[in-house]
Every structure is written in C-alpha cells, then in structure tokens.
Amino acid sequence: MAAPMPSPRPVTHLLFDMDGLLLDTERLYSVVFQEICGRYRKTYSWDVKSLVMGKKALEAAQIVIDVLQLPMSKEELVEESQDRLQALFPTAALMPGVERLIQHLRAHHVPMAVATSSSSASFQMKTSSHKDFFALFDHIVLGDDPEVRKGKPDPDIFLACAKRFSPPAPVDKCLVFEDAPNGVEAALAAGMQVVMVPDRHLHRELTTKATVVLASLQDFQPELFGLPPFE
C-alpha cells in the first residue's frame, strides 16, 4: 500500500522512532488513557490519539485535555498516566520484523540511531527488557534532550539525531521510520525521506505524505533505498 510519492532515493543513514515502531508501547498508552478518560465518560479514540502520537508528554496531555475537555491539569494527567504506565512499560515487546531488520543493518554496518519523544526516565522503563537490542544503535536522542527545543511535528529531533553521526549525516541521505503522522511531518520538515508503518486503526488519509507506507516492518525492502538486501 505505497503512497503516491516520488520514487525512493538511496540513503546511507537510518533514524528510527521508538513507540509503536520498534516497541509495542502505543497499545499500553491507549489502555491507560482510556481508563483515565473513561472516568469522565470520555473516549480516548484514534481520532484523539492520532493528534498526540509522537509528541512530548506535557504537550500531548494538553491536547487530550483540550479536545476531551477533561477537568484536570496537564501535569496531573501526565503524573497519573505515568504512574500507571510504570508497571506496564517493562512488558513492552519488540514489534514484528524489528529484530531481523536491525540485526541485518548492524551486520552490514549501516549507521542507525533512535529519535524518540520519550523522556530519559520513560525510555529507561520502556527499554529495561531490551538493553542489548538498543545497544545495537549508534546513538539515541530523547525528547528531553537540550537540542530538541520543539517536539514533533517540528524537525528538531531528527536534525539533532542526524548531526550526531560521525561524520554528521546529510539530511537528504537519511531515512526515517515512523508510525505517527506527527513524526512523518517532522521527518519531511527535516528534508528526509520517511517509511511509515501506521497502526491499522489510523485513518488512511493520515498516511499519504510518507515516501513508503508498510503494514509491518517485516515488509521493508532495504534495496528500495539502496541498502543491502536481505539474504
């Protein structure tokens, strides 16, 4: 289900989002936010979720409060949701096709990094069961990094991530992997191509801007972007 975009161009560096792309955490967010919103007889629907995916925690919380008119502050919503998520995050599994792809890229010495809106504390909880896996990346840029002044859809996080390769990666040689519309916008604003792997519940019209759209990372063909093919 490829989007009507220009043909993929060869790349040299890969940048990966984490939540819902590498790790199956978006499902956990949905459960917790629906529990909280349900108290006020509100529904944390995919229409709402698609607005906040990829954003920093406080910014996302404010959007949820504004859209659903919840009687609480953004700080209260973040605190309560984080308290609940703390117990769930360590159970997050890798998404289908992720391990095979990353091991393949590492074996072929393709430079790759993670660019996630998660804070340092949140990242530690989510990745506690996958430390060896995340050690395969050249570097990781988090949402509370000083260089990331604005969250997605602004391009700050991807530009900071590209700059930290040694030598720095040219933006037109970077390929971003994302599951969220905000992340796709951020990648395009940074001047990068983007592979989108959206959740099946996401409205299709929110996937049209990506270079390539896949149902799963299991479907990714590295050779489309000039990368070593799977054996």
Which residues are identified as catalytic?
17, 19
Cis peptide before 167 (omega within 30 of 0): yes
Q: Provide the 8-state DSSP code for 140.
A: E
Distance CA 36, CA 44 (A): 9
Structure tokens at 206: 């929110």
Summary count for the chain: helices (H), strands (E) = 9, 6
What are the Cα distances from residue 181, in Å, to 170, 194, 197, 206, 208?
23, 11, 10, 6, 9
